[in-house]
Amino acid sequence: MIRVVLQACGPLRETFGAPELGFELADGATLGDLLDRIGADHGERLAGSIWNLRERRFRGPVVIMAGSRAVKDRATPLHDQQVVRLYKAVVGG
Amino acid sequence: MAEGMIGYTGRQLRVQLGEACSRVEPLNRDALQKYLGGTGYACKLLYDELPPGVDPLGPLNKLVFATGPLCSNAVPGGGSVELCFKSPLTGGWGESRAGSDFGPDLRRAGYDHVIIEGRAEQPVYLVIQDDAVAFRPAAHLAGKTVGEKLGIIAGELPEGRFTIGAIGPAGEHLVKYASVMFGDRAAGRGGAGAVMGAKNLLAIAVSGSGKIEPGDAEALKAALRKAVATLRANPTTVAFHEHGTMGDYAGNDEKGDFPTRNWQANSWGKGAELFDRYEAANFIKPYPCYRGCHIACARKAQVKSGPYQTPEHGGAEYESMACFTSYVLNQDVDAAVHCSYLCNQYGLDTISAGSTIAFAMECAEKGILTAQQLSGLDLSWGNAAVLPVLLRMIAHREGVGDLLADGVRLASRHLGQGSEAFAVHVKGMEGPAHDGRSGKALALSYGTGNRGMCHIHPVEAMAWDSGKMDWGLQPHGLPDPEGVGRWDEAGKGSALKLLQDGLNLPEILCTCKFFMYAGITVEHWAELLSALLGRATSGADLLAVAERVYTLQRLFNIREGFTVADDQLPERVKAVPAFGRYRDEPACAIQDYGAMLREYYTARGWDPETGVPTGQTLRRLQIT
């Protein structure tokens, strides 16, 4: 098992009800696995504006950062004790 | 380079269309010191040179293609051009920016600004290639779409890489919200296209081979590295690139920032569904609107088949899509993409066009526009099929399109019968796709915007109290947005003054304001500017310039007869929404707009009752 920490930044802290959430995932887990777990654990209560319930992915300008790099490919491997940060940007102009 | 003009070309090109001649002038050094460039320098020029009361569509109006010292492909956001003029839509200060290589190319040609004067006897287009300025006959371009014009002109130009700004049929027919198009990018708001059309100037092509040496090349490299590193580390850069302005479509609907059914409500409940449809069926890829952009938020979109089949093009921005969906209750995303494309081809501002059609639909519903006036067209809410038809009629001033081509303010005055109550505009400019009931600072910003109810300057108000952004302005006095309620009213007026000044800087420097959303602060701009000009400038210095510019634009409007009455909001946009998720949320309605306005005037050093800048303020700002 690996443990991945999701840090919700800015207004997303309120969305998730906490600034930080831990997820236990199987060895070799990928970003897709993390998204599936987010969907299973939180999907029903996440707002439709940021979460696509059917496709188990974020909707709109939500960015997942691993270190200084944005990640979006579901096949991106995750490692134990990895911290991923979640941002929602303001982009509508 | 003359002293005080390092970082500039030092020259402006004045074009007299009536006599088909031009001359090169040195920049006004005093104006550079006080107003820098872009909309600042152009405002000073137009304030000094335009007689009060001049007809915006007459030969005495002037159109300035303005750049600034940061207008360069190498600078983040520097691929910009600012068009400044007296607006035919509002009768007041007009400015409109486009992301394009036009600005940097103009500076490479050796000019910081082009000032267009007079009126050509016959249609012409202008070709500027370094020192050569040519007036070309353009009768063969008349009536062509923007795309057709650009294609024909490209085939007639001499050797060289040119950037072209052109109007479409809407500009030729003096539609009061006609745009000037730079490829698929629009200087859309306020009617610059009509000003160009009134001058019989159908296009301008520019090419340059020169280079502007910075005051301190090493410092410039360092400042650029720092700015680019900031952008790369900021998630908003990724968000803009991945989703463009459409990214907030669903979120805005949810938070009540989504004008719906001609502003009867601020949410619709269809945002997520329509956003998914757009991403799956219409979106192709992101692209940069100028060479070198670090964000590349523009979208290539298309409609592959069906009644609204549309070729790949640059467009389908958030504002355009909202105005052709929620405003008119249209759920056909293909139709909205098609309408955005048509506006680009006709040279129409998508926001005013969509808003005006929404107004017309409500007029039809209430029987104010009759079947006879509508020539049998069905203007029922949600009727997608009528949208392209109306756009063509507006662009060519055919039938009811002639009335709608003047915008909602004049159309409602003509129609009467209570239609003024739902003609949503400020100073004559139709409202964009953000709603002041999502955050009260936005409401005040709409009212006090110098060019009216626009989508550029006011948006930071929403992004502050609702979106919790601060753009690094807290050290300059902006309250921490985390401590501000979006529906609070007290304190919004004083905060707005700083928000407007700080986020007006990109228009003065001739950069793109999205870069400030992605982490570039006034201090970054100051570092870049200091290196370019070879003299130290601070963020506080730039904010002082921005305040001066904002106040001079205010004086421009006052001279044209604007009063506190022109800072008011339509009652509809202050009221509790008629339907949607905020219908039972009275706190979102504006409670005491007058108090917010007085607080704002006071913060600006304007008379709290009349909104006129005081003599003390003008002396402090050295406005003479």
pLDDT band at B3 (very low <50, low <70, confident <90, very high): low
Q: Which of A10, A61, A68 sits opposite B247 (nearest CB)?
A: A61
Cα–Cα distance for residue pair B129/B205, rounded to 1 Å: 8
CA proximity to B104, closest of B74, B60, B59: B74
**Share of residues in chain B with pLDDT > 70 (%):** 99
Cα–Cα distance for residue pair B10/B314, rounded to 1 Å: 34
CA distance A5 to chain B (A): 18
Chain A contact present for B240, CB below 8 A: yes
Asked if the Cβ–Cβ distance from A11 to B468 is below 8 Å, we say yes
Rg (CA), chain A: 12
Asked if the Cβ–Cβ distance from A88 to B251 is below 8 Å, we say yes
Q: Is B3 exposed, middle or buried (0-12, 13-18, 19+ CB in 10 A)?
A: exposed
Q: What per-residue confidence (pLDDT) applies to B114?
A: 98
Q: What mean pLDDT do residues B461-490 have?
A: 96
Cα–Cα distance for residue pair B482/B463, rounded to 1 Å: 12
The pLDDT tens digits of the residues spanning A61-83 come to: 999 999 889 999 999 999 999 99
Chains A and B form CB pairs within 8 A to the count of 101
Question: What is the amino acid identity at position B342?
Answer: L
CA proximity to B205, closest of B119, B298, B138: B138
Chain A contact present for B229, CB below 8 A: no
The pLDDT tens digits of the residues spanning B560-576 come to: 999 999 999 999 999 99
Q: Which of B247, B456, B463 sits opposite A60 (nearest CB)?
A: B247
Chain B contact present for A74, CB below 8 A: no
Tokens of B71: 């207008």
Do residues B137 and B38 make contact, with C-beta atoms less than 8 angstroms apart?
A: no
The pLDDT tens digits of the residues spanning B146-184 come to: 999 999 999 999 999 999 999 999 999 999 999 999 999
Q: Is A28 exposed, middle or buried (0-12, 13-18, 19+ CB in 10 A)?
A: exposed
The pLDDT tens digits of the residues spanning B418-447 come to: 999 999 999 999 999 999 999 999 999 999
> Rounded to the nearest 10 degrees, what angle do helices B333-346 and B350-365 cross at?
120
Task: Give residues with Cβ within 8 angstroms of B345, minimum separation 6.
Answer: B145, B146, B147, B168
Q: Is the pLDDT of residue B1 over 80?
A: no
CA proximity to B357, closest of B382, B333, B332, B337: B382
Question: What is the amino acid identity at position B401?
Answer: G
**Other CB atoms closer than 10 Å to residue A79's CB: what's the count?**
12
Q: Is the pLDDT of residue A15 over 90?
A: no
Asked if the Cβ–Cβ distance from B455 to A88 is below 8 Å, we say no
Asked if the Cβ–Cβ distance from B235 to A59 is below 8 Å, we say no
Cα–Cα distance for residue pair A52/B331, rounded to 1 Å: 19
The pLDDT tens digits of the residues spanning B258-304 come to: 999 999 999 999 999 999 999 999 999 999 999 999 999 999 999 99
Chain B contact present for A91, CB below 8 A: yes
Chain B contact present for A2, CB below 8 A: no
Cα–Cα distance for residue pair B19/B204, rounded to 1 Å: 17
Q: Which of A48, A61, A68 sits opposite B243 (nearest CB)?
A: A61
Give me the interface pTM, i.e. the ipTM. Answer: 0.94
Chain B contact present for A73, CB below 8 A: no
Q: Which of A49, A68, A93 sits opposite B272 (nearest CB)?
A: A49
Cα–Cα distance for residue pair A54/A48, rounded to 1 Å: 11
Q: What per-residue confidence (pLDDT) applies to B2?
A: 61
Q: What per-residue confidence (pLDDT) applies to B459?
A: 81
Tokens of B538: 């601070």
Asked if the Cβ–Cβ distance from B236 to A72 is below 8 Å, we say no
Asked if the Cβ–Cβ distance from A87 to B517 is below 8 Å, we say no
Q: What are phi and psi of B512, to 5 degrees?
A: -100, 130
Task: Give residues with Cβ within 8 angstroms of B596, minimum separation 6.
Answer: B440, B443, B444, B489, B492, B493, B590
Do residues B290 and B79 make contact, with C-beta atoms less than 8 angstroms apart?
A: yes
Sign of torsion over alpha carbons B474, B621, B545, B501: positive
What three-state secondary structure class fits B3? coil
Q: β-strands A20-25, A2-8: how paired? A: antiparallel
* Residue A93 falls inside a structural domain: no
pLDDT band at B84 (very low <50, low <70, confident <90, very high): very high
Compare all CA atoms of chain B with the CA of A66 and give the residue at the minimum distance. B235
DSSP 8-state secondary structure symbol assigned to residue B579: S
Asked if the Cβ–Cβ distance from B272 to A63 is below 8 Å, we say no
Q: What per-residue confidence (pLDDT) applies to A86?
A: 95
- The domain tally of chain A equals 1
Cα–Cα distance for residue pair B497/B180, rounded to 1 Å: 30
Q: Which of A68, A90, A91 sits opposite B233 (nearest CB)?
A: A68
Asked if the Cβ–Cβ distance from A89 to B318 is below 8 Å, we say no
Task: Give residues with Cβ within 8 angstroms of B218, minimum separation 6.
Answer: none
Q: β-strands B180-182, A20-25: how paired? A: unpaired
Within 8 A of B317 by CB-CB distance, chain A residues are 93
DSSP 8-state secondary structure symbol assigned to residue B613: B
What three-state secondary structure class fits B620? helix
Q: Which of B235, B275, B469 sits opposite A65 (nearest CB)?
A: B235
Give me the torsion for CA of B104, B105, B107, B111, rounded to 10°: -140
Compare all CA atoms of chain A with the CA of B250 and give the residue at the minimum distance. A49
Within 8 A of A70 by CB-CB distance, chain B residues are 235, 238, 242
Chain B contact present for A66, CB below 8 A: no
CA proximity to B532, closest of B8, B108, B67: B8
Angle at B354 between CA B463 and CA B295, to 5 degrees: 45
Q: Is B33 exposed, middle or buried (0-12, 13-18, 19+ CB in 10 A)?
A: exposed
Residue B129 bridge partners (DSSP): B132, B207
CA proximity to B327, closest of B367, B274, B375, B374: B274
Q: Is the pLDDT of residue B255 over 90?
A: yes
Asked if the Cβ–Cβ distance from B252 to A92 is below 8 Å, we say yes
Give me the residues of B, 262-321, that contact A with CB < 8 A: 271-272, 275-276, 297, 317-319
Q: What per-residue confidence (pLDDT) applies to B456?
A: 85
Q: Which of A52, A88, A93 sits opposite B514 (nearest CB)?
A: A93
**Other CB atoms closer than 10 Å to residue B609's CB: what's the count?**
11
Question: What is the amino acid identity at position B543?
Answer: L
Cα–Cα distance for residue pair A91/B64, rounded to 1 Å: 29
Query: How many residues in total does chain B contain?
Result: 624
Asked if the Cβ–Cβ distance from A63 to B297 is below 8 Å, we say no
Asked if the Cβ–Cβ distance from A92 to B233 is below 8 Å, we say no
Interface test with B, best of A9, A58, A86, A90 (most B CBs within 10 A): A90
Within 8 A of B255 by CB-CB distance, chain A residues are 49
Q: What mean pLDDT do residues B471-488 have?
A: 97
Domain at A26, CATH number: 3.10.20.30
CA distance A23 to chain B (A): 23
Cα–Cα distance for residue pair B267/B125, rounded to 1 Å: 44
The pLDDT tens digits of the residues spanning B492-535 come to: 999 999 999 999 999 999 999 999 999 999 999 999 999 999 99
Enter the pTM of the model: 0.97
Asked if the Cβ–Cβ distance from B247 to A91 is below 8 Å, we say yes
Q: What are phi and psi of B583, to 5 degrees?
A: -60, -35
Q: Is the pLDDT of residue B206 over 90?
A: yes
What three-state secondary structure class fits B333? helix
Within 8 A of A49 by CB-CB distance, chain B residues are 250-251, 253-255, 271-272
Range of the domain at A57: 2-88
